[in-house]
Copies of this chain bind each other. A is one copy, B any other.
Amino acid sequence: MKGTEIVEVAKEVELENPILIEGLPGLGMVGRIVVRYLAKSFGAERLAFLYSPHFPYYVLVNKKGDVRLLRAEFRYLKNKSGKGDLVLLTGDSQAQTIEGQYEVADRILEFAQKLGVKTIVTVGGFRVETEEMPKVMAAATSPELLEKSVAAGAVASRAGNPIVGTAGLLLGMAHFRKIDALCLLSETRGYLPDPKSAKSVLEVLQKLLGLGVDLAGLDKEIEKAEQIVVRMRQIEKRRELQARKRRKLEEEKATYIS
Contact = CB atoms under 8 A, between A and B. Distances in A.
A53 B106 CA distance: 10
A143 interface: yes
**Identical chains in the assembly:** 4
Q: How large is the interface on A (under 10, 10 to 19, 20 to 34, 35 or more residues)?
A: 35 or more
Counting chain B CB atoms within 10 Å of each CB, the highest count among A61, A66, A96 belongs to: A61
A244 interface: yes
Contact of A248 (B69, B96, B245, B254): B254
A209 to B, nearest CB: 20
Contacts of A56: 98
Contact of A66 (B103, B141, B165, B244): B141
Given A1-B102, A67-B168, A98-B97, A59 B254 contact: no
B61 A139 contact: yes
Contacts of A141: 66-67
B57 A164 contact: yes
Contacts of A64: 143
B255 A58 contact: no
A217 interface: no
A19 interface: no
Contacts of A176: 1
A253 B245 CA distance: 10
B59 A101 contact: no
Interface string A51-85: 00111111111111111111000000000000000
Contacts of A97: 98-99
Interface in A172-216: 172-173, 176, 181, 183
A60 B160 contact: yes
Interface of A: 1, 53-70, 96-103, 106, 138-143, 146, 156-165, 168-169, 171-173, 176, 181, 183, 241, 244-245, 247-250, 253-255, 257-258
